[in-house]
């Protein structure tokens, strides 16, 4: 989860299972919810079952799609991307 002055952003990662017959069964999906006073906007990124799953790429793509759905200004998108960069700067070691 990530918070900015105006927005709360949440990501959900899951693998679509075979229990429901669907053409995307076995694919990895990243969902993003962009929440503010105006409502909840969502975006998703689907990784093909034969591709290597990359959490960062899924987050970026789903966030980009959620911001497009929300119709954010260039300045608002810039602020959110800056906050995302600060979120991912944490060292792994």
Tens of pLDDT, residue by residue over 19-77, are 666 676 778 889 999 999 889 999 999 887 788 888 889 999 999 999 999 999 999 99
User: Can you tell me whether residue 88 is helix, strand or coil?
Assistant: coil
pLDDT value, residue 45: 92
In the 8-state DSSP scheme, what is residue 52?
P
Cβ neighbours around 90 below 10 Å, total: 6
pLDDT at 12 over 60: yes
pLDDT value, residue 3: 87
Please name the residue ranges forming H helices in 1-93.
Answer: 55-70, 74-87
pLDDT value, residue 22: 67
pLDDT value, residue 93: 47
pLDDT value, residue 1: 85
Cβ neighbours around 86 below 10 Å, total: 10
Cβ neighbours around 9 below 10 Å, total: 23
């Amino acid at each position: 989860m990530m918070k900015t002055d105006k927005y709360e952003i949440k990501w959900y990662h899951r693998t679509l299972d075979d229990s429901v017959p669907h053409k995307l069964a076995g694919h990895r999906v990243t969902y993003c919810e962009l929440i503010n006073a105006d409502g909840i906007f969502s975006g998703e990124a689907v990784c093909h079952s034969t591709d290597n799953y990359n959490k960062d790429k899924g987050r970026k793509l789903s966030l980009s799609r959620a911001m497009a759905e929300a119709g954010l200004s260039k300045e608002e998108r810039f602020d959110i991307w800056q906050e995302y960069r600060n979120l991912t700067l944490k060292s792994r070691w």
